[in-house]
Amino acid sequence: MNAKTKGYQGHKNYNHWNVSLWIHNDEALYNMAKAAINRNRGKKDARYAAAYDLLALLPEKTPDGAPYSVTSIRAAMVGM
């Protein structure tokens, strides 16, 4: 089994997939994520810092009901 077939749609689980789906496909959320990454660039553990920044701005859950968390947001930011 390769990395693309592990978990849920290539993600660790449904929650990570759903959060990533929303962040990457909603222009406002994507722009917020990119801005959070840029604000924290150069910091140790920059994606964690960016994920905490973004988490403070988001509602508790995605429109599909998946909870936003630091780990799911951080996973969605990989490669951004």
Q: Where are the alpha helices (DSSP H) in 7-45?
A: 14-25, 27-40
- Is the pLDDT assigned to residue 6 strictly greater than 80? no
Distance CA(55)–CA(70), nearest Å, equals 7
pLDDT digits (tens, 9 = 90+) for 12-23: 999 999 999 999
- Is the pLDDT assigned to residue 8 strictly greater than 90? no
pLDDT class for 1, splitting at 50, 70, 90?
very low
Domain boundaries, the chain: 31-80
pLDDT digits (tens, 9 = 90+) for 59-80: 999 999 999 999 999 999 988 8
